[in-house]
Amino acid sequence: MATAAVVGGGIAGLATAIGLEKRGWRVSVFERATGFTEVGAGISLWRNALRALDALGLGDQVRAKGVGPGGGGLRDKRGRWLASASDNDLVMLHRADLLEVLLGAVRPDALRAGTPVDRLEVVDGEPVVNGERFDLLVGADGLRSTVRATFWPDAEPPRPTGHTAWRMVLSAAGVTPSETWGDRQVFGIFPMSGDRVYAYAAAVVPPDTVFPDGDLAELRRRFADWHDPIPTLVNNAETALRHDLYYLPDLSSYVHGPVALVGDAAHAMPPNMGQGGCQALEDAVTLAATADDLAHYDALRRPRSQSIARRSISTGKFVHSGAPWRDTLVRLLPASLVRRAVDRALDWYPPVAPLG
């Protein structure tokens, strides 16, 4: 039986492990943390990601835990609508709920929590992890990937986008889903299950900025005069996760011999298109289908995911530009043109039939 080591026990790593197991591989998932947990807030799973989860046999479980917001759209800071969204292309849920579904589908003895990877090499064409030989090594260890640093030593390091982001999960009901654009700032609101709301904000802020009154106080100050219910939501927030945003410059390949990268380790991108986790799930399903031909995996995944990443970066620049014509342009864009642009990102299908 072929064996695979997956370094990183997040969404990308667990989904890859599930796909490989369904193809008959024996997988070990190495996770530095003492448990497989998710500290994030909400995640948007668009229809391309849902197709990937369907291929893993998990789509219905995930849909049952999430909410399809439907409706809503883009607004300006006074609450006026810039564009509407009437489709149901996505499901919103908490990242912890998604991780729970993924964990339940991995063979329990495959999970090696509390196991940092400190020895990585390839010997006689076989990857070696902490002295143990495998047939395949998958780097699913995120933005600061140890696998990438080891086997792609000349790769450019992650670069800051110049933005910082806040994320919150709040108790609220009856909230209309929307993303609001202000002067070089954004605030998004999306319902989740259990009368909860996933709220996020982003602003143009240099990396490593320290706010004198703290991150939550800064969030409240910045959005105090925006349309309802934004001030109420931020005032009711007890905590907010804050992190600076980065992206990974294009790699020349996602494959190095018997080593492959998935998720943020391969193509970390800012969240402007809500595609980071979705692309990771696409990676996982594709790698499982092409694990015996990694060059094929690279050919299928690298052009698409890097194109999505570049579009995410350019979208962020446009949204945060603060240009006076930005909102007018959005109002004038034909809905059919917007629909075609969305479809180009979402019209992905697994390369083979369902995995099991």
Residue 241 C-beta-side C-alpha neighbours within 13 Å: 14
Looking at the structure of the chain, the number of domains it has is 1
What's the confidence (pLDDT) of residue 354? 59
> What span, in angstroms and rounded, lies between the C-alpha atoms of 144 and 343?
31
What's the confidence (pLDDT) of residue 86? 61
Q: In what order do the strands lie in the sheet with 132-133?
A: 120-123, 126-129, 132-133
Residue 310 structural domain? 3-70+90-158+248-322
In three-state secondary structure terms, 161 is strand
Q: What is the DSSP string of 100-136?
A: HHHHHTS-GGGEETT-----EEEETTEEEETTEE-SE
Residue 308 C-beta-side C-alpha neighbours within 13 Å: 30
| Neighbouring C-beta atoms of residue 220, cutoff 10 Å | 16
Amino acid occupying residue 17: A
Closest residue by Cα to residue 267 from 153, 167, 158, 343: 158
Tell me the sheet residues that pair with 3. Answer: 26
134 touches 127 (CB < 8 A): yes
| Neighbouring C-beta atoms of residue 327, cutoff 10 Å | 18
Note whether residue 279 is domain-resident.
Answer: yes
DSSP class of residue 272 equals G
In three-state secondary structure terms, 264 is helix
Secondary structure of the chain: what % helix, strand, coil (to 5)? 35, 25, 40
Q: No. of H helices and E strands in the chain?
A: 12, 18
Q: Quote the pTM value.
A: 0.95
CATH number of the CATH domain containing 9: 3.50.50.60
In three-state secondary structure terms, 96 is helix
What's the confidence (pLDDT) of residue 152? 98
What's the confidence (pLDDT) of residue 215? 95
What's the confidence (pLDDT) of residue 88? 62
Note whether residue 238 is domain-resident.
Answer: no
Note whether residue 347 is domain-resident.
Answer: no
What's the confidence (pLDDT) of residue 353? 59
232 touches 116 (CB < 8 A): no
Q: How many residues does the chain have?
A: 356
Mean pLDDT, consecutive 10-residue segments, the chain of 356 residues?
Answer: 97 98 97 84 94 96 90 90 77 94 96 95 96 97 98 97 96 88 95 92 96 96 96 94 97 98 98 96 98 97 98 95 89 84 88 68
Note whether residue 255 is domain-resident.
Answer: yes
Note whether residue 231 is domain-resident.
Answer: no
What's the confidence (pLDDT) of residue 352? 74
Note whether residue 199 is domain-resident.
Answer: no
